[in-house]
Amino acid sequence: MAHQTVIVLDFGGQYNQLIARRVRECGVYCEVKPYKTPLAQLLEKKPIGFIFTGGPNSVYDPAAPQVDPAIFTLGLPILGICYGCQLMAQALGGEVTAAQADTAREYGKTETFYDTACTLFKGLDAQGISWMSHGDYMAQVPQGFALAAHSAACPNVAIADEDRRFYGVQFHPEVNHTQNGLAMIRNFLYGACGATGDWTMGDYKETAIRSIREKVGSGKVLLALSGGVDSSVAAALLAEAVGSQLTCVFVDHGLMRLNEGDEVEEAFSKWSINFIRVNAEGLFLHKLAGVRDPEAKRKIIGEEFIRVFEQEAKKIGQVDFLVQGTIYPDVIESGLGDAAVIKSHHNVGGLPDYVDFKEIIEPLRLLFKDEVRQLGRELGLPEYLVMRQPFPGPGLAIRVIGEVTKDKLDTLRLADFIFRDEMAKAGEDRNLDQYFAVLTNMRSVGVMGDGRTYDYTLALRAVTTDDFMTADWARIPFDLLDRTSTRIVNEVPKINRVVYDITSKPPATVEFE
């Protein structure tokens, strides 16, 4: 089934993924494409509209990204955001200049006044907060455009040409700071583009299953199951599609959280697949013995995981397809056009050379994380797996500071479980993006009962974030921290002190190592 599609044209904005996620949240399929993508290639997608993202450039700079002017002659709706708004204004005959220091330059939360007769703002409050981030100013708007929003400093916060269905906003409706921002995007999609909302994970599941069956035929499929959300949902989708033709190799390196290995195995017991659990804790701990450097830990664990997986794969024999849990942010972050490469993902840009297979399958390649979770629910995966906290590939090895031993891992596992248990009981688990415990390498004096102790300090970490590029430490209620600390020092041996990390990213990272 072909879905209605909106193209998000990326001009290097930091919120390009967020814009696309918001469109998807409105039930409309979209793809992020580099601004240099030839127009003919974009039109192959049969788009019902375009969104131009923000970007760091000034449109009047000769080297700034531009767009094929023919895009404005297609009769398709366009929403320009920040740089995208100014680009459209200049391309259609307006004038954009650097804003003066005392007027029109705006950053952060700004009181904004909207013309609710405009399609973008129809049915919304006439006044609210928008999130600004622009140092340039539309000194003259193009012919045919009306002013649709203003602030105290800027008369043309939003512009609109209703006849051509062209809209521009100098703020960012995609961020949570903008009140009714999602509703504005929805108004553009449904009011201007004529979207019908045909993008659902239930429909995607059925379409993906049919596509996988057609591709695989009678072939054999192999998947390395980590127990994380992405690989688990990919495994469930393939299990639903091809059943016993799928072999899942679950390498249990002994570095997972409490009971997670058993939970993963139980979650897949309802499908008739070949589920191989390799209990390799002893092997990994032997390789990690005496190792303290976090990068060395990561390298050892990654290489050993591949070696163990390769050994199991060779036992299976010829494999026709290898499944990877690549998701859409992996694709975007690995580089789109001139966009900066945030990080290179091992699932993107190259096929692994340690398994003999004919072709790769990436069934989640078009999905964002929240869509992956919803797809997992559609496939019947348990909520504890679908909503599993982000977990690093090296597991608890990088949450044990210094040398990793089984005793330290068992101590951390129990303390981490208590933290997560108390968070869930208080209903805070859904408010936070990541939270976990870290066993530090620091020991301190304490008093327990009538005796002196000299035991480990445990650190608790919790953050809120939109994209994990930056993160703010979470303001957890003190009584919740109190209950957690009390339980940990009473129930977990070898811990006599609990601290809470109140450092944001930057300057810190989310993980300690």
* Stronger pLDDT, 479 or 392, i.e. the higher one: 479
What is the band of 419 on the pLDDT scale with cuts at 50, 70, 90?
A: very high
Candidates 3.40.50.150, 3.40.50.2300, 3.30.1490.20, 3.30.300.10; correct CATH number of 399-500?
Answer: 3.30.300.10
pLDDT at 343: 33
Task: Tell me what the mean pLDDT of segment 70-85 comes to.
Answer: 96
pLDDT at 314: 84
Known catalytic residue at 174 = yes
For residue range 265-311, list pLDDT tens digits in order: 999 999 999 999 999 999 999 999 999 999 999 999 988 988 898 88
List the single range of 102-111, 147-156, 169-178 with lowest mean pLDDT.
102-111
Tokens 């398709």 label which residue? 76
pLDDT at 133: 66
5-192 — its CATH code? 3.40.50.880
User: Are 414 and 310 in contact, with CB atoms under 8 Å apart?
Assistant: no
List the single range of 310-319, 339-348, 352-361 with lowest mean pLDDT.
339-348
- SS3 state at 221: strand
pLDDT at 16: 84
- SS3 state at 34: strand
Distances (CA, A) of 297 to 150, 162, 257, 403: 54, 58, 17, 9
Known catalytic residue at 82 = yes
Write down the catalytic residue from 31, 174, 240, 422: 174
Known catalytic residue at 172 = yes
What share of the chain in percent tops pLDDT 90? 67
List the single range of 18-22, 39-43, 308-312 with lowest mean pLDDT.
308-312
Tokens 């050993």 label which residue? 304
pLDDT at 349: 35
Closest CA to 231 of 325, 319, 304, 323: 325
Pairing, β 78-81 against β 127-134: unpaired
Distances (CA, A) of 44 to 5, 40, 41, 357: 11, 7, 5, 31
Q: How far apart are CA 431 and CA 102, in angstroms?
A: 38
What is the band of 180 on the pLDDT scale with cuts at 50, 70, 90?
A: very high
The alpha carbon of residue 447 and the mean position of all alpha carbons in its chain are separated, in whole angstroms, by 44
Number of residues assigned to the chain = 513
- SS3 state at 123: coil
- Which secondary-structure segment (H or E) carries 408? helix 406-425
Candidates 3.40.1010.20, 3.10.129.10, 3.40.50.620, 3.40.960.10; correct CATH number of 201-386?
Answer: 3.40.50.620
pLDDT at 345 over 50: no
For residue range 2-16, list pLDDT tens digits in order: 789 999 999 988 788
Same fold for the pair 201-386 and 399-500: no
Strands (E), 365-491: 434-448, 451-464, 472-473
- Which secondary-structure segment (H or E) carries 124? none
Q: What is this structure's pTM? A: 0.79
Q: Where are the domains positioned within the chain?
A: 5-192, 201-386, 399-500
Which tokens sit at 287? 């390789």
For residue range 360-410, list pLDDT tens digits in order: 899 999 898 889 999 999 999 999 889 888 888 889 999 999 999 999 999
Q: How far apart are CA 508 and CA 461, in angstroms?
A: 11
What is the band of 99 on the pLDDT scale with cuts at 50, 70, 90?
A: low
What is the band of 351 on the pLDDT scale with cuts at 50, 70, 90?
A: very low
pLDDT at 438: 97
Write down the catalytic residue from 3, 134, 172, 253: 172
Write down the catalytic residue from 26, 30, 82, 193: 82
What is the band of 134 on the pLDDT scale with cuts at 50, 70, 90?
A: low
